[in-house]
Structure 1
């Protein structure tokens, strides 16, 4: 089952393009945020981001899920 918190975290990381910046905006530390994103990816069975040392970028699956995630948050 998807957790709305994970969805909010995903949207924050997608919009920031950086886990550290997203963590600051969410007022949480980076490590738990990364774990939640990886857990979300495991639940969905897809990778949502292309990761490098300095940033994360949405891949095709991530871009498709971002639209759905935003809609879920609006309707929640």
Structure 2
């Protein structure tokens, strides 16, 4: 599972539409759709229901969204922390 797949999942979940999520992530729709399908395949369950209006989170998707947001927040925190240490090392 990659950070890109998690970011893609969160964007689609929040936008509820692959096209809008793709624009938000500066991607085209086909790779974004592949990210979602790969993630669902890896997890062994569908996360979204595809509708004419867009994408609706299924119960597994609702649960996974909470975890994905937390994981991405931890990654952001780790990056900020390490960059702060690197800056101190350069300045020190």
TM-score bin (small chain) = over 0.9
C-alpha RMSD of the superposition: 0.6
State how many pairs are aligned: 75
Per the normalisation by structure 2, the TM-score is 0.79
Which residue does 2:61 correspond to in 1?
62
Shift of 1:52: 1.4
User: When you count helix as a share of all residues, which structure comes out higher?
Assistant: 2
Task: Structure 2 unaligned segments of length 5 or more: list them.
Answer: 76-92
Structure of higher RCO (CA pairs closer than 8 Å, 6+ residues apart): 1
Structure 1 regions of 5+ residues with no counterpart? none
Query: Which structure 2 residues correspond to residues 14-25 of structure 1 after superposition, within 5 A?
Result: 14-25=13-24
TM-score by length of 1: 0.96
SS of 1:41 mapped into structure 2: helix
Instruction: Provide runs of 4+ in structure 1 moved above 6 Å.
Output: none
Q: Deviations over 1:2-61 (max 9, x none)?
A: 101100000000000000000000000001100110000000101000101330000000
